[in-house]
Amino acid sequence: MASVVFLVAPGGSLKGEIRVPGDKSISHRSIMLGAIAEGVTKVRGFLEAEDALATLAAFRAMGVKIERSENGELTIYGVGKRGLVGAKESLYLGNSGTSMRLLSGLLAGQKFSSVLTGDDSLSKRPMTRVTDPLALMGAVIGTTENGTAPLYIEDMPSLKGISYEMPMASAQVKSCLLLAGLYAEGETCVTEPAPTRDHTERMLEGFGYSVKREGGQVCLTGGGELKGTEIDVPADISSAAFFMVGASIAKDSDVLLKHVGINPTRTGVIDILKLMGADITLSNEQVVGGEPVADIRIRSAELKGINIPEELVPLAIDEFPVLFVAAACAKGQTVLTGAEELRVKESDRIQAMADGLEQLGIDAKATVDGMIIQGAEEGLSAGKVDSHGDHRIAMAFSIAALRAKGNIEIDDCENVNTSFPEFIELAASLGLMVKVSTDG
């Protein structure tokens, strides 16, 4: 199969204003909850990318009518909590860990069995973190010997609520158990060791479902109904992060990112960049459909290395590939600890980024739960890196070229379409000098 290669010329600056595509996490959840709600749900700003479209296709296969119109607008005709029907074939979820983990909870209490499959990368990701607590609720889910997909979910029309203390902070595990809790007798409570994104809780409330939140615990009682609603999906801060770092590290840059979601469980990337000395200002702050949004302006700044506070790690877990690039361009040393979760993402993001940065002349040492990076103010060298089929690594190294001495070539970039199909077009519109070719 042909491989997509990004070739990025060195230098330049980023200037202009853009709106990055809709938030991936919220796009997934809008379909899942809209499908099992009573009545019609209308969604604006839906992310038209492979991961979210995998969720959409799964619910269509389970009998839900979903109409797509231009510009990311969806109309979902909810079938109610008990209205889904078993798919005729296994549900293929591509590269989307969110789809698989959240669907395993939603499908664990249905009156039909399901099989969830994914691509090679997704089939290596750990699933026992959701199947083990679901089993405590009475679910019966088979995995491979390694605890990975395919997942074989047996019909189990009645689950029982549990109180579960998560061993590690994971919004996907929390959301999976809350979705299963909708189908459980009694109360389901999840306690997290550190705050994680709370889109599921906010959206459940938007659909009229009662959720109790206190400290690090979230509880809901099974048996209620969701009512169709309207959802306006904000621009994805994880996608915006590439341009935040790019504008920070490239001289004479000035970028305005419009209508970005600034949910407090997701703004770790802003906090970390500000600690490094980034020039970031927020304006036009408002709440749209229960989610806070703002316009974010970023101008060039001299970044300095820092010890990244561990309490910010869960709030920036998806942004670390590009934050490592910021660290490589900063003055002094940056140390990340407490981020072992990065080893089981679409790739081992710690090792893949350390290897790639070393290829580009940066002293980057992978540790068990993070990385130690010595910043090189003079920038990165030219080179060729492998994204390991990981969309965020491909985009992070594209941004690194803004401070490189020569071309950076990035292999295996086709999975950028899973989260950000317009990345190349928007990056080029701001001034990144990037070309795409297919190899093979």
Q: Are 439 and 12 in contact (CB under 8 A)?
A: no
Residue 23: name the closest of 178, 179, 199 by CA: 199
E strand or H helix at 6: strand 3-8
| 3-class state of residue 116 by DSSP | strand
Q: Please tell me the distance from the alpha carbon of residue 33 to that of residue 43, in angstroms, as a whole number.
A: 11
E strand or H helix at 261: strand 254-261
Contacts of 249 (CB under 8 A, 6+ apart): 300, 303, 325, 326, 329, 399, 402, 403
Residue 42: name the closest of 289, 290, 293, 294 by CA: 289
Q: Please tell me the distance from the alpha carbon of residue 77 to that of residue 228, in angstroms, as a whole number.
A: 8
Active-site option among 51, 236, 318, 390: 318
E strand or H helix at 179: helix 171-181
Phi, psi of 76, deg, nearest 5: -110, 120
Match 């070309």 to its residue by tokens. Answer: 435
Query: Which tokens go with 128?
Result: 């026992």
* Known catalytic residue at 318: yes
Phi, psi of 366, deg, nearest 5: -75, 140
Q: Please tell me the distance from the alpha carbon of residue 102 to that of residue 264, in angstroms, as a whole number.
A: 21
Active site residues: 318
